[in-house]
Amino acid sequence: MRLAETTKIEGFRELDAALAKLGKHTTEKALLRRIAKKALTPMLERAKALAPDDDGQLKDSIVMGSRLTRAARAQDGKTPRAGIRTFVGTASRYGFLQEYGRADAPAQPFMRPAWDTQGPKALEIVKRDLGDEIEKTAARLAKRRT
């Protein structure tokens, strides 16, 4: 099951241009990974807090990463043109069953409520911190070049 949501974001064109000026592709990716980790950590923590208790197996399976499982990749089907992709979720089939339920067990959502409460905050963190990170990285690179 795939849920679609649209969010309009403004002001990132200038940040994207500033990222391009940094030069090295690896520098840009490292910077974006730092911001993504900072922005998505509250969602990760919230999902773990909301996950049903099961001796920690489900909570431990909720992780942040840049790679999807083979099944998730087949369902996602998108490859970014540039930049990075960072995910928070569980690769556990048990997690899917908890989130959506089944005929003999009701749903116990934990990822969607985590997104609903922390998703807007994640975007605010990116908006607030990306420009500063670009400036700091540009300053470090300039210092190395001299």
Contact predicate 119/6, CB 8 Å: no
Give me Rg for the CA atoms of the chain: 18
Would you say how long the chain is, in residues?
146
Closest by CA position to 101, among listed 8, 27, 1 = 1
Residue 121: CB atoms within 10 A of its CB come to 14
Domain ranges of the chain: 22-140
Give 90's strand partners: 62
pLDDT of residue 26: 64
Structural tokens at position 2: 């795939």
Q: Summarize pLDDT for 56-114 with one digit per residue, the tens.
A: 789 989 999 987 777 666 666 666 566 788 889 987 878 888 999 999 989 999 999 99
- The per-residue pLDDT of the chain, averaged, comes to 82
Q: If pLDDT is split at 50, 70 and 90, which confidence band does 1 have?
A: very low
Residue labelled with tokens 């403004």: 10
| pTM for the predicted model, two decimal places | 0.77
Amino acid sitting at position 71: A
